[in-house]
């Protein structure tokens, strides 16, 4: 493929992309990232990334990126340095960073990935991927309060499940449907499968990946026993299976970078129609999904199981 095609893909990709040279100076910033941070369309090349992105710690301070007190704890700086100096990629990290946007200091929560790329003559560059998830997290907090969920621990109470599903269906329309399920990781704590990744780290990373792969209105929440409860509103069981497979594929790719490619998960799901709700209880809905999960585990794991279909999550 010609270089012009790669340049066009990078420039117009629907996600923020930045290319840095081996000195962490900007080679390229794409249109999406410029729009996200209200950056000037030109004049960024050759600048240290903090200046190019209008980091609030250096904008107007007369100091270089890397020389301010805040730079020592900057997650973006640490991640980029790790990718450049140690070939240690950053995958879907969540970072909080203050930028100067339209003359005002704005704190944003970003999903951040960085990976080194080897070039000719032994040179390196770093590809940085940024997605603004500030608004999504705000919606999650609002939804947590509205649905009487614990906004601190984000644990869905089994007693509240039917009410959560009913409210989501009500917002989607009278003929809407939803898929509810329980997902449990497999292989965490087994050295051959999980490498050096701890159980807590695996659960945390899985939750981040699942949220990245789902829609704003979907709910991904820990149940409190190491498994997760999923609610996909407005979709049938086949779409739910496709979403779950996407989560599994992404998890495998990310975990493999940490030597934990053997970790998998199984999922038990149930499709619900609006007329089903009056006859259901939260406990009954949870038991139905858990029975499907148990069936998936009995059959060897890495399965999506529902009453309507069974699908493999790992080829």
For the chain, what is the domain count?
A: 2
Residue 73: give its domain's CATH number: 3.30.450.20
Contact 125, 119 (CB under 8 A): yes
| Residues 107 and 148 both lie in one domain | no
| Residues spanned by the domain of 194 | 135-312
Both structure tokens of 170: 């009500």
Tokens of 4: 């012009």
Cβ contact 165:272 at 8 Å: yes
pLDDT for res 225: 76
Look at residue 245 in the predicted model and tell me its pLDDT.
94
Q: Do 170 and 282 lie in a common domain? A: yes
Residue 59 Cα distances to 31, 77, 79, 130, angstroms: 21, 16, 21, 20
pLDDT tens-place string over residues 131-186: 988 877 766 665 555 444 443 334 456 666 777 777 777 666 655 788 999 999 99
CA 206 to CA 185: how far, in whole Å? 9
* Same-domain status, 104 and 174: no
8 A C-beta contact, residue 257 and residue 89: yes
Same-domain status, 110 and 227: no
pLDDT of residue 40: 84
Query: Token pair of 90, please?
Result: 């950053």
Whether residue 261 is found in the same domain as residue 128: no
Say whether both 160 and 283 belong to one domain.
Answer: yes
88 CB neighbour count, 10 Å cutoff: 15
Question: Which residues of the chain carry a pLDDT beneath 70?
Answer: 1-9, 12, 138-160, 170-175, 191-194
Q: Which residues contact 162 (CB under 8 A, 6 or more apart)?
A: 277, 280, 281, 282, 285
Tell me the angle at which helices 237-256 and 199-213 cross, rounded to the nearest 10 degrees.
130
What would the two tokens of residue 55 be? 């980091």
Together in a domain, 175 and 301: yes
Co-location of 142 and 115 in the same domain: no
**CATH (domain of 198):** 3.30.70.270
- The answer to whether the CB of 19 falls within 8 A of the CB of 127 is yes
Domain boundary, last residue among 132, 165, 200: 132
pLDDT in tens, 22-43: 899 999 999 889 988 988 888 8
**Last residue within a domain, chosen from 97, 132, 167:** 132
User: Read out DSSP for 6-71?
Assistant: HHHHHHH-SSEEEEE-TTSBEEEE-HHHHHHTT--SSS-TTSBHHHHTTBTTTTTTT--TT-SGGG
In the three-class reduction of DSSP (H, G, I as helix; E, B as strand; rest coil), residue 188 is classed as coil
Same domain, 149 and 295: yes
Domain stop point among 90, 107, 132 = 132
| Whether residue 84 is found in the same domain as residue 157 | no
Could you tell me if 94 and 190 lie in one domain? no
Domain check: are 178 and 56 in the same one?
A: no
Order of all β-strands in the sheet with 16-20:
26-29, 16-20, 124-132, 104-118, 90-101
pLDDT at 152: 34
């Amino acid at each position: 493929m010609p270089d012009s095609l790669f340049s066009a893909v990078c420039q117009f990709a629907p996600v923020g992309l930045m290319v840095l040279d081996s000195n962490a100076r900007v080679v390229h910033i794409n249109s999406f990232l410029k729009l996200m941070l209200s950056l000037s369309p030109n004049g960024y090349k050759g600048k240290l990334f903090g200046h190019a992105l209008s980091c609030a710690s250096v904008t107007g301070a007369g100091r270089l990126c890397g020389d301010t007190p805040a730079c020592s704890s900057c997650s973006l700086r640490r991640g980029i340095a790790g990718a450049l100096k140690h070939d240690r990629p950053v995958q879907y990290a969540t970072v909080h960073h203050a930028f100067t946007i339209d003359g005002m200091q704005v704190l944003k929560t970003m999903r951040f990935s960085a990976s080194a790329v080897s070039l000719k003559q032994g040179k390196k560059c770093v590809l940085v991927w940024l997605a603004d998830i500030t608004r999504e997290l705000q919606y999650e907090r609002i939804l947590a309060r509205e649905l009487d969920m614990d906004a601190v621990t984000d644990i869905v109470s089994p007693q509240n499940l039917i009410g959560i599903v009913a409210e989501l269906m009500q917002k989607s329309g009278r003929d809407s449907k939803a898929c509810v399920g329980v997902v449990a990781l497999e292989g965490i704590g087994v050295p051959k499968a999980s490498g050096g990744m701890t159980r807590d780290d695996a659960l945390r990373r899985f939750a981040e990946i699942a949220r990245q792969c789902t829609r704003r209105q979907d709910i991904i929440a820990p149940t409190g026993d190491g498994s997760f409860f999923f609610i996909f509103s407005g979709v049938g069981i086949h779409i739910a299976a496709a979403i779950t497979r996407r989560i599994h594929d992404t998890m495998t790719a990310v975990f493999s970078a940490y030597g934990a490619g053997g970790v998998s998960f199984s999922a038990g799901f149930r499709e619900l129609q609006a007329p089903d709700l009056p006859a259901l209880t939260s406990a009954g809905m949870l038991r139905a999904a858990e029975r499907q999960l148990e069936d998936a585990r009995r059959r060897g794991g890495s399965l999506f199981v529902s009453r309507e279909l069974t699908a493999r999550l790992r080829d």
